[in-house]
Structure 1
Amino acid sequence: MLFPVKVQYYKGLTKALKVAAAVIPMPKPTLFSGADSSLELCDAISHLGIKKLLLVTDKVLVEIGLLKDIQARLEKHGIKVTIYDGILPDPTYDQIEKGLALLNKHQCEGILAVGGGSPIDASKAIAARATNNKSLEKMAGLFKLRKAPLPLFVVPTTAGTGSEVTIVSVVSNPETHQKTPIIDPKLVPAMAALDGKLMLGLPPFVTAATGMDALTHAIESYISTNATDETRSYALAATKLIMENLETAVHDGKNLEARQNMAMASYYAGLAFTKAGVGYVHAIAHNFGALYATPHGLANSIVLPHILDYSKSDIISELATLAEASGLKAGRESNNKLAEKLIARIRAMLVSFEIPATLDSLKTEDIPRIAELALDEAHANYPVPKYMDKRTCEALISKMVA
């Protein structure tokens, strides 16, 4: 059990974050949305007079030819494109430095990120390193960027991370296996394109895991003690879109309407958690990713129902509202019943998507350390609705052992 004094201290930290979020301007990218909006973004980049661009992505997207139309459109405008496809899931410091070296070698004036959360996060870090004479370690934390990053444009190819609108870049330290979050409003991209057409070939399991990532963002931001009317509005919109479209996107991947709606849901969820924050789900999932290289969406999917079970007593009203937005209300039902229906619905979705309830790589002997790191992360940064101590966290994580 946590001592009341500690809880009050943690609440004080998160209250300070809420004040900062209200006072500090949170920019939004100029948004292009719809099929082929990625090409509209290329046209807009050309209007800025940029002639040399670093295109940050991963090898898979290059190999399947997803970038050809984008590259051709940029080159049509006289923009020389240098492709950096060395980004892997959970990008590390060395990947950032290699991208920076390539950017400097070719004297690129801006960066276009095309891909999931990893290429976008990496691009944010590269853009920040290009203009700030600081190591990644010294940029870690809140508001450490003195200068605006290099102009950054993004095209997400998964509907999950919301990184196209967030103030965060997460990079992994390959030596300590810990995540390094760089948090600054200057990291928000200048422009973003939500092009559902680019997501049509996304495999079902990736679609499911990234979609559940977006749902986690929406739910954790809604139950956050730092939520506002604005963030709740975005979170409810995201939840509604996800519940109406994710299953279609998973089981009928060529459905452009479902893909486009999921892209917008991810964007809304990103707007919500940028101001309201996340919680224990992300804290535990981050440490699964750092220790076992677990994909973030998969980690969130496994952890989410356990945290909702634990927190339910303190957020019944919020869960009931989310359940209603999810289309689960049938007649006059109590808030408690609706909260139970929402958690059950999430578990049923995971079964439908063949997402496991446990993590194969999770080792019992690692649990104390994971719990310690997760609680340190959460209590210093996240406005959780119900606090837990280390013993409770360890018991909760133990339920996820295969």
Structure 2
Amino acid sequence: MEFDYFIPTKILFGRGKLDQLYKEKMPGKKALIVISAGKSTRANGYLQKVEEQMHKAGVETFVFDKILSNPINGHVMEGAVFAREKKCDFVVGLGGGSSIDSAKAIAVMSTNEGDFWDYISGGSGKGLQVKNDPLPIIAITTTAGTGTEADPWTVITKEETNEKIGFGYEKTFPVLSVVDPELMLTVPADLTAYQGFDALFHSTEGYINNTANVMSDIYSLKAIELISKNLATAVRDGKNIGARECVALGNTLAGMVESTSGCISEHSIEHAMSAFHPNLPHGAGLIMISKAYYSNFVENHACDEKFIEMARVMGKSNASNPMEFVEALVELQEACGVSELKMSDYGITKEELPDIAKNARHTMGGLFEVDPLPVSDETCLEILKQSYR
């Protein structure tokens, strides 16, 4: 019954919550708003809304709009220079996980010297300690995928070396997050599915993680239940605000799982896949390997009772066999129309699978250390081979 619990983020959750942002005490008078390089944040009016809220609160705003779907180190450094030039007091991440993750990294580098990769542990990172506190971070999520609004983590790719690695510590928790399901009504069906499964896997991985505890288990099971019961509806009918709301809550709870437990090697493997192929959506990559990945644990009887419990909250109320979790997972993927995703459609070849497996351990080997059962290099490669289409 021992655990450490620290989630210092104030969360405004619910329909229309963005309209109340101006009432909150802002951590400064100048804000850098970080958004993606795509058109949707502006086209849907979300940037305008946030700027109106900030101006109403007496905050001057500047926009950095270069973030890619798999954010890169170069843009983190460019954003940090821009924030210093404008003398910004805090950073606002507006959008999906890539924008909010980038905002966190930019907040770190706005107050510290060197390169962001100097502070990365793993791969070619130097693992240096962050000397100065980052700028305060506000997260406003327009998707339900990463839970980054409720955790300290940021995942960035060093584009020169194809290294995609996570980073975070207690100072990179957002001070304030807004989770407004009304901002998620415009997410396309395929991205809704990919993002929803990312949140689901944050929860399933956190539940079977060796660091799992009583608090993370509570968040994990509720997140798995909410997402598995509502994601297919949100995919089929994106305007269904009730389904969006439930998936959004599941996603935020999944972020709390990330703050109290964490991911395991499934995420290491996928990060390697999308490091080599940045056009691969993170959630899509996770879906591709998930059946083989979880089947490996089930077949080797790693935490059988936990797999049975996950199957039960996913709708198989009378589950008694761990493999019923894998069955429920596949059924959900079929219901969301993502069961036939192919690595080859994103340019991944069979010949590079060994390099992907090697990269997974080289960059994020720490996640392999908390697997419920050791996953060897050979097993990692076999999972990729079984998943390849």
For normalisation by structure 2, the TM-score amounts to 0.91
Counterpart AA for 1:53: A
**CA offset at residue 52 of structure 1?**
1.3
* Aligned CA distance change for structure 1 residues 159 and 235 (closer, same or farther; 3 Å): same
Equivalents in 2 of 1:184, 1:357: separation in Å?
34
Equivalents in 2 of 1:364, 1:222: separation in Å?
31
> In the alignment, does 2:34 pair up with 1:56?
yes
| Gap regions ≥5 residues in structure 1 | 1-18
Question: What are the within-5 Å matches in structure 2 for residues 3-402 of structure 1?
Answer: 22=3, 26-44=6-24, 47-48=25-26, 50-58=28-36, 59-60=38-39, 61-141=41-121, 144-293=129-278, 294-312=280-298, 313-330=301-318, 333-334=319-320, 336=321, 339-355=322-338, 356-360=340-344, 361-377=347-363, 379-382=365-368, 383-402=370-389
Equivalents in 2 of 1:393, 1:272: separation in Å?
24
Equivalents in 2 of 1:28, 1:305: separation in Å?
35
Equivalents in 1 of 2:210, 2:276: separation in Å?
29
Equivalents in 2 of 1:55, 1:320: separation in Å?
43
Equivalents in 1 of 2:373, 2:327: separation in Å?
20
**CA offset at residue 139 of structure 1?**
1.2
Equivalents in 2 of 1:283, 1:83: separation in Å?
32
Equivalents in 2 of 1:35, 1:144: separation in Å?
39
Equivalents in 1 of 2:168, 2:49: separation in Å?
32
Partners of 1:84 and 1:99 within 8 A in 2: yes
Equivalents in 2 of 1:388, 1:64: separation in Å?
43
**1:226 match: secondary structure:** coil
* Aligned CA distance change for structure 1 residues 306 and 378 (closer, same or farther; 3 Å): farther
Equivalents in 2 of 1:41, 1:310: separation in Å?
45
- Which has the larger displacement, 54-63 or 148-157? 54-63
Look up the match of 1:8: none
Equivalents in 2 of 1:108, 1:129: separation in Å?
12
Equivalents in 2 of 1:144, 1:381: separation in Å?
20
Counterpart AA for 2:58: G
**2:46 match: secondary structure:** coil
* Aligned CA distance change for structure 1 residues 227 and 191 (closer, same or farther; 3 Å): same
For normalisation by structure 1, the TM-score amounts to 0.88
Partners of 1:358 and 1:399 within 8 A in 2: no
Look up the match of 1:5: none
Counterpart AA for 1:26: F
Counterpart AA for 1:359: M
| Gap regions ≥5 residues in structure 2 | 122-126
**CA offset at residue 171 of structure 1?**
1.1
* Aligned CA distance change for structure 1 residues 385 and 70 (closer, same or farther; 3 Å): same
Counterpart AA for 1:159: A
Equivalents in 1 of 2:128, 2:11: separation in Å?
24
Partners of 2:272 and 2:360 within 8 A in 1: yes
After superposition, the C-alpha distances for 1:230-273 in whole angstroms (9 at most, x for unaligned) are: 00010001011111211111111111121111111111111112
**CA offset at residue 27 of structure 1?**
3.0
**1:193 match: secondary structure:** strand
Counterpart AA for 1:124: K
**2:375 match: secondary structure:** coil
Count of residues paired in the alignment: 374
Equivalents in 1 of 2:255, 2:335: separation in Å?
25
**CA offset at residue 118 of structure 1?**
0.4
Q: CA RMSD in A?
A: 1.8
Partners of 1:43 and 1:77 within 8 A in 2: yes
* Aligned CA distance change for structure 1 residues 225 and 257 (closer, same or farther; 3 Å): same
**Overall identity of the aligned pairs, in %:** 26
Counterpart AA for 1:145: V
Equivalents in 1 of 2:262, 2:110: separation in Å?
27
- Which has the larger displacement, 313-322 or 64-73? 64-73
Equivalents in 2 of 1:143, 1:304: separation in Å?
33
Equivalents in 2 of 1:277, 1:69: separation in Å?
33
